[in-house]
Structure 1
Amino acid sequence: MAKRDFYEVLGIAKGASAEEIKKAYRGKAKELHPDRNKDNPESEAQFKEANEAYDVLKDPEKKAAYDRFGHAAFDGGMGGGRPGYGGGPGQGDFASAFSDVFEDLFGDFMGGRPGGGGGRSRAQRGSDLRYNLRVSLEEAFAGTQKTITVPSSAACTSCNGTGAEGGAEPQTCPTCSGLGKVRAQNGFFTVERTCPTCGGQGQVVKNPCRKCHGAGRVEVERQLQVNIPPGVETGTRIRHAGEGEAGLRGGPSGDLYIFIEVSPHALFERDNTDLHCRVPVSMVTAALGGEVEVPTIDGGRSRVKIPTGSQSGRQMRLRGKGMPALRGGGVGDMFIELAVETPVNLTSRQKEILREFQEIEVENNPEGASFFKKVKSFWEGMTH
């Protein structure tokens, strides 16, 4: 069976440019790859045919010979293989041909950079930055705006981010011809490595910018206004797109992530959207009942009634006096926990009054009565 015309195989015209040939091959390789056509038994042969065509047409000398003599340029009729052509396209360097599109086919699965092309893309996205920001509980309650200073990098204004003096565009690397990698033949194998001249960028700067030394970016400190929404808590993350490190040689900037830490409060303890406040009350107030004034997180005051006979640890709820939920969703409550205080530094008269109280005190304290009842039962059990 006669071979098909190589231009026909790739679906291009005879006068197609090198870029058009490469683009056409990439499309065919993606379309015909056997892993993507497991139900088509002819895909492998078609895939090899496309590789053979590209191996010839991508090389200017091979292409010129093919344009003049056709397939006969590489078969035995032309002397069993022309010098420099590797014994014909059927025996050509498959790895060399296929590696040009390998990253396009599988780059996403191999963790390649956005935009593909591996080392052939000179622009690199800047790194993301993290900034830890501490706020008070009051600021977390009401929301606030903070001005922060971020150490970062920005595009060099002297070279407009190109890395070249005067803003000139970098030139194609002469060593790797813009591929970012070089190949070395070692017997049957072809070994690829990162280009030592351009470091895999594919381009070089002949006259580096004196301000950024060819990097295209400089170290700066920037001030940034950050809006802190009501309801934030420790661990809340706020993203500022494009406010991270500047990209290398014109690449896009990374993002800035602000991590919130809410400082401990002297009066309130937070539990999600609820607040807890421990309030001391006198022994007399706890026994007779009364009122205490407690602070609220919004800066206000609330009067709380203390029931007669209140014990330490008793909790009372103030509805709607807690923290707001982040991005809406209601407001928590505030819980008051009573701490009954035993008086100290008593005067002689106060001690006398307490002794009189002790003499007439009846055993009707609920917790004490329950405790001593259990003690009595315990002792009785030990005697049997």
Structure 2
Amino acid sequence: MSADNGFRADWAQKDFYAELGVKKDATADEIKKAYRKLARAHHPDSNPGDTGKHDKFKRVAEAYDVVGDPEKRKKYDEMRSLYGSGGFRGGFPGGQGGGGGFDLNDLLRDRAAGGAGGGFGDMFGDLFGGFGGRSRAGRSRPQKGADVESSATIKFTDALEGVTISLRLTSDAACPGCSGTGGKPGTKPHICAECEGNGFVVASVGGAFTMNEPCPACGGRQLVYDEPCPTCQGSGRGTSARTISARIPAGVKDGQRIRLRGKGAPGEHGGPAGDLFVTVKVTPHRIFGRKGDNLTIEVPISFDEAALGAEIKIPTIDGAPVTLRVPAGTPNGRTFRVRGKGARRADGTVGDLLATVTVHVPAVLDAAARQAVEAYREATADKPLRAGLFERTP
């Protein structure tokens, strides 16, 4: 949950303790433990496509953002206590024609005017904040930078061994001309007359129910400039281009998406940087293929090697050949396993090399070879291979 969207009156009707599965008097450690357990179980990364768990994750995060903070929790408890006693709900009775309640319009107007009453107007502002992450005093809240998507193409061997690459990134950032203020450099701002420097205005959403919205004049900045920045036309936003070094871990697969924390767009007002997501593309190898954590290779052998058996040399990805023993009578397509010559796994262990033999049939025979093959044909003439195809089944 974020307070950047302003006051949400519906939170008074939500039981954040029940959402986390804890009692109202639960300790901070109990609340944190319950949140972590629920967050792990319902995190979108662990439950792709499960919208029910995604929604639960959002509700849990919203609940923990309030009751996991001591100050917010105190004010939330006060607000819930008032709501439970009938102090305000639904149409907020008492604003017109008596009753025991109060008018939320009066509270928000008092807050917008900077009243010193220190009542629930201040409580809601402290608990839920103003639009754009700004408080009444005009302080800007730290905001995490945006996540950035990129892709990189690496060699087959680099995917197995790991490699450090350079990436050119372009992301959203504060305008370099005005440093994010939106005003022309050298000019001074003044307090927005529309919202009187609060950054929000009070708007009715039906009946006596009101909400605060971003000020349309200043966009929630609280200050306005008579002359907008010529670079960003007053938006305060621009683009940032930079080159970073990123480490691709050993064993990465083609199409795998790597998350690099803190390598995304810079944060604002002291907030942390976002994350960088890199989709890795691996170029094919001339000889080797890959199947999970194992490497594959096709090895041609001659008819006599398959029939009589042989010991042959085959290459490995690290360049050192190994000897493969082919037993007599090896059929075409048989796969042999050479242990420890595959791809490196995340835990440091190494997969295997799977060598599949293919019996080579020469396209052209010289006289000596033809004579030998014809002799073999005569020797095996009484053992036709296809005799079983003509046997009738009962």
- TM-score tier by shorter-chain length is 0.5 to 0.7
Aligned ranges 1:1-384 → 2 under 5 Å: 29-34=75-80, 37=81, 44-45=84-85, 92-97=102-107, 116-119=129-132, 121=134, 125-166=144-185, 171-183=190-202, 188-189=207-208, 191-192=210-211, 193-247=213-267, 253-326=273-346, 328-361=347-380, 368=385, 372=387, 374-375=388-389, 378-379=391-392, 381=393
The residue aligned with 2:54 is none
Residues 203 and 292 (structure 1), Cα distance of their counterparts in 2 relative to 1, 3 Å cut:
farther
Q: Which amino acid aligns with 1:94?
A: L
| Distance of 2:239 and 2:77 partners within structure 1 | 45
Residues 275 and 335, structure 1, Cα contact 8 Å, conserved in 2:
yes
Corresponding residue SS for 2:164: strand
- TM-score, scaled to structure 1: 0.64
Q: 1:203 to 1:356 in 2, by over 3 A?
A: same
Deviation at 1:274, TM superposition (A): 0.9
Q: Is the contact made by 1:120 and 1:201 (CA closer than 8 Å) also made in structure 2?
A: no
Task: Provide the C-alpha distance between the structure 1 equivalents of 2:296 and 2:74, rounded to a whole number of angstroms.
Answer: 67
The answer as to whether partners of 1:162 and 1:168 remain within 8 angstroms in 2 is no
Supply the AA of the counterpart residue of 2:76. K
SS for the counterpart of 1:33 is helix
- The 1:183/1:217 distance shift into structure 2, 3 A limit, reads closer
SS at match of 2:76: helix
Alpha-carbon distance change, 342 to 156 in structure 1, aligned in 2, over 3 angstroms = same
- In structure 2, the CA distance between the partners of 1:86 and 1:227, relative to structure 1 (3 Å rule), is same
Shift of 1:361: 2.3
Superposition deviation, residue 232 in structure 1: 1.4
**Could you list the per-position Cα deviations for residues 111-164 of structure 1 after superposition, in whole angstroms to 9, with x for gaps in the alignment?**
xxxxx4334536654321111122222001111111121122444454444444
Aligned residues: 301
Offset at residue 233 of structure 1 (A) = 1.6
Q: Provide closer, same or farther for how the CA distance between residues 92 and 151 of structure 1 changes in structure 2, counting only shifts above 3 A.
A: same
Quote the offset at 1:359 in angstroms: 0.6
> Secondary structure of the equivalent of 1:358?
helix
Judge conservation of contact 1:127–1:253 (CA < 8 Å) in 2.
yes
Q: CA–CA distance in 2 between the matches of 1:147 and 1:251?
A: 25
**1:208-237 alpha-carbon deviations (Å, 9 max, x no partner):** 444444444432321111112211123544
Larger Rg computed on CA atoms: 1
Residue segments in structure 2 that go unaligned for 5+ positions in a row: 1-70, 108-119, 135-139
CA shift, 1:362, in A, is: 6.6
* Separation of aligned partners in 2, 1:136 and 1:142: 10
Q: CA deviation at 1:336?
A: 0.7
Q: Which TM-score applies when normalising by structure 2?
A: 0.63
